[in-house]
Chain A
Amino acid sequence: MRNPYLPYPVRIESIVTETEDRNLKTFKFVFLNKEDEEAFEYIPGQFAELSVPGQGEIPIGIASSPTEKGFIKFTVNKVGRVSSYMHNMEEGDIMGVRGPMGNWYPWETLEGKNIVIIGGGFAFTTLRSSIAYMLHPGNRSRFGKIDVVYGARMPGLLLYKEELAAWEQRDDIGMHITVDSTDDPNWKYNVGFVPAVTKEKAPSAENSYAIICGPPIMIKFTLPVLTELGFPPERIISSLEMRMKCGIGICGRCNLGTEYVCKDGPVFTLEELSQLPNEY
């Protein structure tokens, strides 16, 4: 059995600065060994440990979709030691990726359902993976209506702008992009907080599941809106963040009641979360 702590070596293929404040960069990795790429079989909603020799490892949601072959993508916010170091790395540099880890959005359950995706700020990464996955020609017919509410504080802080624009043009996905505020006269999308926009667009709860990721304050105010729209807790899905080290349910730090967020999560329904201690 392969040592689960040993990362697959990868090369940084490209680095894209996503936001105006330059705090978010998207790293595209290619595996040095072809067999590693095959072994790294993932499902949207999973994450991986990005491993920088000499600095450490950080758990980051996978932003690419398994339908996109030949590379994996991660969007990294500059906060601590490893992520700050990564922001100074260059294309061509070698580092490691360990994973995929954790569970995923319940795609089998979601089949045939309408999907409402609600995201805020930089928590949009695995949601991006999910959207790309669902929109793939081989998958689109498996799902009903898709609605996306995605908000950021201002236009410059939205991730994946080109893709957002492309999705806007499609008629098989309802995009509701919003910003908290803007002074850009050419801004053609919504202005307002995510909960308010969700309420306004009022996606139907019938035969629907909601996937919600974002800052705690956004989640706190959006949940009542979803409840009002008729989403029961078992059909509201979220993904938790925790400090992690091993990522494989051994080192103990992401323990939450009987669960390890890294192995049994990070994806939980609201119903499941209500049974767990609220230490997240």
Chain B
Amino acid sequence: MSNWEPKIIAFLCNWCSYGAADLAGVSRMQYPPNFRVIRVPCTGRINPKFILSALRHGADGVWVSGCHPGDCHYIEGNLYARRKFALLKNLLEHTGIEPKRLHFSWISSAEATKFADVAREVIRTVKEAGPARHFIKKQAEVA
């Protein structure tokens, strides 16, 4: 298991965190390449089905990152998202998904350093949780 590296699906808002990822790259900041980035127009666009879908496809962790409150390109998309994810995270954890697999952050397009820091932090915690065990869709267990 020593060379196992987690696969993490990162849903990044086009107007902030995606830019931060870009800036971090351009600025040659180091963070491990464990992410599969999905660019979304707003965290408010993320349907919980997307997150379930990531888990079903075997993601070891999911990271959602959007704009700071007040900075949403669509005024308040991230504020709706905040409520939505609070409940989603709780329900996922309540039904047996380890808290270490689910991550949320506010990162503006200028915060490349924060992006790299949070990225490392996310990887570190998902690594602690180990390879995903639940919700992974495999060949149907049927007759």
Chains A and B directly touch (beta carbon < 8 Å):
no
Which B positions have Cβ atoms within 8 angstroms of A?
Answer: none
Which A positions have Cβ atoms within 8 angstroms of B?
Answer: none
